[in-house]
Amino acid sequence: MAGSYLDTPLHTTGAMGAAITRTMAAEIAGATGASALGGTEVFPAMQGGTGVGVTANQLSSFIGGGAAIQPQTGSSVKISAFPTATPSGMASGDTVTGLHSSANVNWTQAQILSAPSATSGNNNGSALSVTMSGAGYGHGHAGAVKLYAGNGGPAASGSPYGGSFQIHGGNGGSNRGNGGNAYLYGGAAAGSVSGNGGNAGAKAGNGSGTSGQGGQAALYGGKGYGSGNRGGNVLLHGGQASAGNGGSIYLDAGLGAGASYKSGSITLNVGNAAYSAGAGNLILGNIPTSNPHVVGAVWSNSGVLTLSAG
């Protein structure tokens, strides 16, 4: 810190009236460690180009009140407060100090994982891309990402539900515009060596106790608004192969447990004619027109839907 006030000569008078000249840096280097501060200790500082003394109480009030200090000219390190507690979580009114356009700012909980919105013209909002786990190296796996909704309370009465976990595509504009898509992808295999793509799953929570039912896992197309606008489709696609069999689609009902309980059913409902010009169709496209000789396989026997006996 050459050229700072720490290098300014300090003039004092020693024993027998001899003049002594030392720098403040030398005084600090020769000082012994202090015990716990009482609040009245004085620290040297510069204020408006003038050397002043600042008490420990003044520093505590300045820092604890949220004001920022910059340790050294040109430093990017800024401190708004020293931590005094370890909270159990971040509440909606809490803030985190950071730098934005070289200014010291406080970020709210809602701003931690959000990108800036467009505020003028026909500009797009900023994208937000977050990598939440580390990449593997060599034969190492990448880190997992687990996002959990909170558990319900431990009470035996009432309705202590677990928290919901929702993934939403954004709404369309207030006057026009399509709603945004919501995707859930498993990772693709990479490189020239064989590798399986990652799975993508959606699983509802398990029930508990003697009367707890398992949660539902649902896929909904969005509702259409306005005359002539259809609701959104729900698509289930098996993966396409580049040199091999395409992926299958399985719909499995749950198995029952116990002598008096049945396994779950699979129900396919077309649209209700009572609310429209006509009922929707149940279409089986591209089914075989000859017996595939696979037990339970469906085929069209001259227009008659037939189950193969194998």
pLDDT of 173 reads 74
Distance of CA 47 to the CA centre of its chain: 44
Beta-carbon neighbour count of residue 163 at 10 Å? 10
Residue 19, domain member (yes or no): yes
Residue 223, domain member (yes or no): no
Q: Which among 24, 26, 30 has a CA at the least distance from the CA of 42?
A: 24
pLDDT of 64 reads 57
d(CA 240, CA 236) in angstroms, rounded, equals 12
pLDDT of 11 reads 52
pLDDT of 307 reads 94
Measured CA distances, 53 to 9, 50, 126, 305 (Å): 17, 10, 47, 95
Measured CA distances, 301 to 163, 216, 287 (Å): 50, 37, 10
Q: Please return the burial class of 215, using the count of CB atoms within 10 Å of its CB with bins 0-12, 13-18 and 19+.
A: middle
The structural domain count of the chain equals 1
Residue 8, domain member (yes or no): yes
Residue 7, domain member (yes or no): yes
**Residuewise pLDDT in 10s, the chain (310 residues):** 445 555 655 555 555 555 555 666 666 666 666 677 788 888 888 888 788 888 888 877 776 554 445 555 555 555 545 556 677 778 878 888 777 777 778 888 888 878 778 788 788 888 878 777 788 888 888 888 888 888 878 877 777 777 888 888 887 777 777 778 888 877 777 766 677 777 888 888 777 777 777 888 888 888 777 777 778 888 888 888 877 888 888 888 888 887 888 888 888 888 766 666 777 888 888 899 999 999 999 999 999 999 999 8
d(CA 148, CA 146) in angstroms, rounded, equals 6
Residue 231, domain member (yes or no): no
Q: Please return the burial class of 111, using the count of CB atoms within 10 Å of its CB with bins 0-12, 13-18 and 19+.
A: middle
Residue 167, domain member (yes or no): no
pLDDT of 53 reads 86
Residue 5, domain member (yes or no): yes
- Helix and strand counts by DSSP (H, E) for the chain: 3, 8
CA angle 113, 118, 119 (to 5 degrees): 125
Contact 248, 239 (CB under 8 A): no
The structure tokens listed for 270 are 């077309």
Domain boundaries, position 19: 1-27
Query: Cβ neighbours of residue 5 under 8 Å, at least 6 residues apart?
Result: 24, 44, 46, 51
Residue 17, domain member (yes or no): yes
